[in-house]
Amino acid sequence: MEVRRNNSANSSGGINKRDASEMMTMTMSDANATVGDDRRRRVPPPPLSRRQRGNLNTLLSRRSPFSNETGSLPVGEFDPSDASTPGGGSLRDAKILVVGAGGLGCEILKDLAMCEGVFGDVVVVDLDTIDVTNLNRQFLFRSKDVGQSKAVVAAKFINERCPWMNVVPYHGKIQDKDATFYRQFRVVISGLDNVEARRWLNGMINNLVEFDDDGDPIPETIIPLIDGGTEGFSGQSRLILPRITSCFECSLDSFAPSAAVPLCTIAETPRIPEHCIAYAYVLQWPREFPDRKLDADSPGDMKWVYERALERAEKFGIDGVTYMLTLGVVKNIIPAVASTNAIISAVCVNEAMKVLSFCSQSLNTCMFVCSAVFQFSIKYTISRILCAHPSPSPL
């Protein structure tokens, strides 16, 4: 009777150990089931296959509400039927010229190759050879390639890694090629790092345009020029349609003037490492080699400048003269940032695809990117100033 009273008391006023254990087991089971359900709900879906995901051919074979003719710079009318064949039809047959195989040029070649066979016929031109200082950002090169042609090594790397690509290299100056060479291309993508070469290329492409009897440009002779440039954390990409949009000459005033150092400071009172380097190649080199011009691409010449600059820096108690700084001062090199090159090259290749296929609205006419403090980009139009009429010859 006592036991029953206690049991009844427990049942009415409390919970015994066995009931508590059973309730705890049930609670944990329910909790585990709930967690299991949550985990099952959180499992991401399996990745889509390549067929389900599609590629650029999928984009080029469908109509778009944002085709080229709907933009502020209409170049042509998008026809998806032109992209019905593998490789994008006319895109696959388009011959593209890439000028420069440096930090920006390597990224441009990579982006063209990663379009999964949409582009195939590419020519790359570059004068430079590979230096050990290039290896930190120009990823198509390896230590064994130092001293070899950038264009040759870059083309070989892309062709071996991406068999659908046919990249033909030319090692030399762009000025060595005549108008016939440039007429064979459907679009030119420039990754040059100096203003003078960009001005010359701009003049050549503009002078390839022919005019009809009414003075209007003949569309078949217009070769779009896509100009990309980077400077540290800043960069710009620009679409130039010769004789239609503004050209490179129209925006020369937007470039900051180079900072000049008085010659008396270099010769008498150097204060920073750059003054010592400038003294070596501006004053000492002409005295030592009056009959020979300094070759900034020659390792021997640059080593001589570095050693003379180092001697002068030690004389005046100035620290910081290095070989890399010597290259930067003599060649007027701005330190390159890999992420900036990646952004600008992607924009350049994107514009090339749009201007060749008309699948989307073309850039009108310039895009500027800055990521020094925080990343932002702006698009703006540059007015025509100097390219309204044909000039007699390339600059």
Percent of the chain that is helix, strand, coil (3-state, to 5): 45, 15, 40
- Residue pair 205/188 in contact (Cβ under 8 Å)? The answer is yes
∠84-87-91 over CA atoms, to 5°? 90
CA dist., res. 79 & res. 66, Å (int):
12
Residue recorded with tokens 């070649």:
109
DSSP label at 129? B
Write out the two tokens for 239.
Answer: 């679409």
Query: CB–CB of 239/226 below 8 Å?
Result: yes
Q: Do 127 and 99 form a contact (C-beta atoms < 8 A)?
A: no
Q: Which of 115, 250, 264, 387 is catalytic?
A: 264
Q: Is 264 a catalytic residue?
A: yes
Cβ-contact 279, 306 below 8 angstroms:
no
Rounded to whole angstroms, what are the CA distances from 131 to 6, 13, 48, 137, 366?
A: 92, 87, 42, 12, 32
Report the greatest alpha carbon distance in the chain: 125
Q: What does the alpha-carbon distance between residue 44 and residue 168 come to, in Å, rounded to a whole number?
A: 43
Is the CB of residue 162 less than 8 Å from the CB of residue 113? Answer: yes
Residues taking part in catalysis: 264
